[in-house]
């Protein structure tokens, strides 16, 4: 029996010719990632276990992004722990204020992750890097500690669901609408501990930013990872940035999948996930009587260049509705700089928005846009659980940058329609 793309990567890193779904393996790691929330816990476990060095200073990445610049004393202490650990172990990929970005936007941009990698990160959205043709998944801080010390991690090889993509997205939709549609179809546990493997002619019409967004939210369907094949789009993206030579794996023609789900991209519509689960999806056109208080455009899901460009194209020359707080968060310093140089930053300010330094910020109820009781936010973030962005009586609606920006102009959930 043939192997899926994910299974081939895992077999290679475990030094095995073949693996099968359900098999327990020990695999070599190319990157071990942590952030300012999870790394201090990992450092504590690292020290408790008696480790005194990291396995490879160039294969550990620590990104301060959740509460940085620090929002309070506790956040400052957490960041201090990260700084001291990175310094004492000469960690090459350490990103602090001025260089940092939202980790899952930053690592692909900087070429730290590449095709064929096996990556763990102490953050559930580490599954983002499957867009590059890598196996990447989130783990706990204890596994991060062991990974930093040994360069190894154990996995149960996942079975897979094949998503066969055809067609091309409408101009008012993006990868966010694709993944919200899929989660609405299969549910938040529809791919539990499975690999979501995206294939088909429709893949070629999706940009790298679309793919990163789709893989980012694989975890919202319960998946172990999401992954795209390496094609010309991937190769072009990696060509100028990968610090290691990409390795391309392809699924066998006789690979076994639990099921195959066909998705016609041309039939995708602007989609919104209503409170309080990402699976509670509805077409944006059905929700246009829902008044909002806040709009957030950013996060590891939708803080990339294409997302900023979409917001610019919709907001330029217009005014955000009275009483609406619109917060725009570029994913990295490089993306922020691009917003400034292209004049997008000025357009955002003229429209009445605020632009933040790169941070996860409000996505996890951290800072830069916390909700009060009874308030509603439409956000390009990835989770809308009870209390996710503030008060337990607030509400978060998940949407694409098209829908979020259009909603900022009306004060209600609004489907974007090109003039």
DSSP result, 183-200: HHHH-TTTTTT-EEEEES
Note whether residue 277 is domain-resident: yes
Q: What is the pLDDT of residues 316-352, one digit of tens each?
A: 999 999 999 999 999 999 999 999 999 999 999 999 9
DSSP string across 361-388: GGGGT-SSSPBPTT-EEEESSS---TTT
Domain that holds residue 296: 272-410
Q: Are residues 112 and 256 in the same domain?
A: yes
pLDDT 10s digits, 359-391: 999 999 999 999 999 999 999 999 999 999 999
Question: Does a structural domain hold residue 233?
Answer: yes
For residue range 165-223, what is the model confidence (pLDDT) as tens digits?
999 999 999 999 999 999 999 999 999 999 999 999 999 999 999 999 999 999 999 99
Residue 325 and residue 217 in one domain: no
**pLDDT exceeds 80 at position 419:** no
Q: What is the pLDDT of residue 351?
A: 98
Write down which residue in 263, 286, 315 finishes a domain.
Answer: 263
User: Would the pLDDT of 1 be above 90?
Assistant: no
pLDDT at 93: 97
pLDDT digits (tens, 9 = 90+) for 219-238: 999 999 999 999 999 999 99
- The conformational region for residue 98 under phi > 0 = left, psi -120 to 50 = alpha, else beta, is left
Query: Does residue 404 surpass a pLDDT of 90?
Result: yes
The two three-digit tokens of residue 188, written as one number: 């938040």
pLDDT in tens, 2-37: 999 999 999 999 999 999 999 999 999 999 999 999
Per-residue pLDDT, 269: 97
pLDDT in tens, 338-348: 999 999 999 99
Residue whose C-alpha is closest to residue 104's, from 301, 296, 365, 242: 301
Within this chain, do residues 66 and 175 fall inside the same structural domain, yes or no? yes
419 inside domain: no
Is 91 in the same domain as 203?
Answer: yes
User: How many other C-beta atoms are found inside a 10 Å radius of the C-beta of residue 293?
Assistant: 17
The number of domains in the chain is: 2
Domain boundary among 244, 263, 282: 263
Distance (Å, whole) CA 347 – CA 85: 40
In the chain, what percentage of residues exceed pLDDT 90? Answer: 99
Asked if the structure places residue 417 within a domain, the reply is no
Please check whether residues 257 and 280 belong to one and the same domain: no
**Domain end: 263, 288, 320, which one?**
263
Residue 348 CB neighbours (<10 A): 25
Dihedral of the alpha carbons of 3, 4, 8, 11, in degrees to the nearest 10: -70
pLDDT, residue 240, reads 85
Residues 204 and 325 occupy one common structural domain: no
How much of the chain exceeds pLDDT 70, in percent?
100
The reported pLDDT for the residue numbered 358 is 96
| 395-400: average pLDDT | 98
Query: Looking at the structure, do residues 66 and 182 belong to the same domain, yes or no?
Result: yes
Residues 392 and 305 in one domain: yes
Secondary structure letter of residue 158 according to DSSP: P
Q: Per 3-state DSSP, what percentage of the chain is helix, strand, and coil (rounded to 5)?
A: 35, 20, 45
Q: How confident is the model at residue 68 (pLDDT cuts 50, 70, 90)?
A: very high
- Tell me the pLDDT of the chain averaged across its residues: 96
- pLDDT at residue 306 tops 90: yes
């Amino acid at each position: 029996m043939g192997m899926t793309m994910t299974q081939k990567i895992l077999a290679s890193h475990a030094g095995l010719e073949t693996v099968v779904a359900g098999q327990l393996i020990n695999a070599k790691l190319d990157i071990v990632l942590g952030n300012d929330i999870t790394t201090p816990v990992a450092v504590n476990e690292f020290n408790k276990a008696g480790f005194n060095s990291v396995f490879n200073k160039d294969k550990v990445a620590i990104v301060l992004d959740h509460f940085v610049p620090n929002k309070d004393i506790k956040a400052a202490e957490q960041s201090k722990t990260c700084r001291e650990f990175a310094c004492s172990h000469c960690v090459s990929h350490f990103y602090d204020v001025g260089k940092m970005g939202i980790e899952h936007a930053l690592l692909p941009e900087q070429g730290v992750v590449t095709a064929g990698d096996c990556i763990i990160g102490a953050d559930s959205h580490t599954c983002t890097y499957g867009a590059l043709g890598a196996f990447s998944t989130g783990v706990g801080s204890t596994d991060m500690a062991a990974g930093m010390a040994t360069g190894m991690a154990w996995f149960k090889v996942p079975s897979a669901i094949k998503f066969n993509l055809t067609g091309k997205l409408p101009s008012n939709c993006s990868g966010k609408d694709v993944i919200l549609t899929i989660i609405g179809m299969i549910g938040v546990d529809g791919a539990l501990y499975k690999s979501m493997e995206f294939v088909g002619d429709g893949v070629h019409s999706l940009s790298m930013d679309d793919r990163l967004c789709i893989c980012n939210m694989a975890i919202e369907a319960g998946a172990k990872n999401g992954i795209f094949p390496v094609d010309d789009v991937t190769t072009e993206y990696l060509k100028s940035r990968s610090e290691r030579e990409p390795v391309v794996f392809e699924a066998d023609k006789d690979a076994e999948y639990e099921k195959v789900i066909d998705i016609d991209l041309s039939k995708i519509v602007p989609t919104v996930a209503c409170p309080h689960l990402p699976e509670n999806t509805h077409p944006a056109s059905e929700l246009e009587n829902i008044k909002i208080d806040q709009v957030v455009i950013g996060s590891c899901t939708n803080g990339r260049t294409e997302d900023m460009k979409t917001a610019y194209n919709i907001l330029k020359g217009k005014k955000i509705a009275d009483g609406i707080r619109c917060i725009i968060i570029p994913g990295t310093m490089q993306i922020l700089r691009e917003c400034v140089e292209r004049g997008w930053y000025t357009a955002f300010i003229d429209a009445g928005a605020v632009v933040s330094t790169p941070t996860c910020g409000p996505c996890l109820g951290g800072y830069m846009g916390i909700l009060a009781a009874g308030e509603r936010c439409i956000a390009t973030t990835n989770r809308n659980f009870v209390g996710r962005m503030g008060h337990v009586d607030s509400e978060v609606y998940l949407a694409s940058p098209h829908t979020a920006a259009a909603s900022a102009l009306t004060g209600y959930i609004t489907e974007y329609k090109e003039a």
